[in-house]
Copies of this chain bind each other. A is one copy, B any other.
Amino acid sequence: MDKREKILNAAMELIIRQGLQHTPMSHIADRAGVGMGSVYKRFKNKEDIVNGIYVKIKTEEAAMIFVNYDERNSVPDTFNDIYGRMIDYFLSHPLKFNFISQYAFSPVIEKKTQVQAMSRFHRFDEMYARGLEQGLFKDLAPQHLTYFVFGSVCYWLKCASELQIDVDHKMRNQFLKMAWDSIKK
């Protein structure tokens, strides 16, 4: 595997498990099976690694949830498909979900990183713009709808994971209905 990838994976695991402060660069290098120098060859510093992990996960997430995206599909179908996939992605990658929850609002994540990550999700805007045109949604900027629903997903999943509730298919659909009901006109 690519060394950059190895470093990012090693760092993610350690940082999630022990926290940023308790994860020395030397441990990251060890676990990635490379020397310290190789880490600093690829990353400016520790925070640069965190930003790298953030972008990597967000890119993977976007690829996963939009895999089936087709503007010709109806808005409701698209909505269910996208958010259903998002739930599935987070449920099947708990470490990554944890990482995103923890760092989404952290000052460690630079503006530039945030913008870069967001750019992968432009299809949300397309879908919401289309839905608004068709009079399906309440009158709010697409971005607000994006955040509102995303926030619901995150906290709801966090709740489920903390209470160790296993999210079955029925629950998943019930949630999708809640999300839809919240923004539909």
A→B interface (CB under 8 Å): 16, 18-21, 98, 101-102, 105-108, 138-140, 143-144, 146-156, 158-160, 163, 174-175, 177-179, 181-184
Contact = CB atoms under 8 A, between A and B. Distances in A.
A162 B170 CA distance: 35
A96 to B, nearest CB: 13
30 contacts: A18-B107, A19-B106, A19-B107, A20-B21, A21-B21, A101-B105, A102-B106, A105-B158, A138-B174, A138-B177, A138-B178, A140-B174, A143-B159, A144-B156, A144-B159, A144-B160, A146-B159, A147-B156, A147-B159, A148-B152, A148-B155, A148-B156, A150-B155, A151-B152, A151-B155, A151-B158, A152-B155, A152-B182, A154-B155, A181-B184
A38 to B, nearest CB: 24
A19 B139 CA distance: 36
Nearest to A171: B140
The 8 closest A-B CB pairs, nearest first, are A151-B155, A182-B182, A147-B159, A101-B105, A151-B151, A147-B155, A19-B107, A178-B182
Contacts of A184: 181
A95 to B, nearest CB: 13
Contacts of A139: 174
A74 to B, nearest CB: 21
Majority-rule SS of A interface residues:
helix
A65 B143 CA distance: 27
Contacts of A177: 138
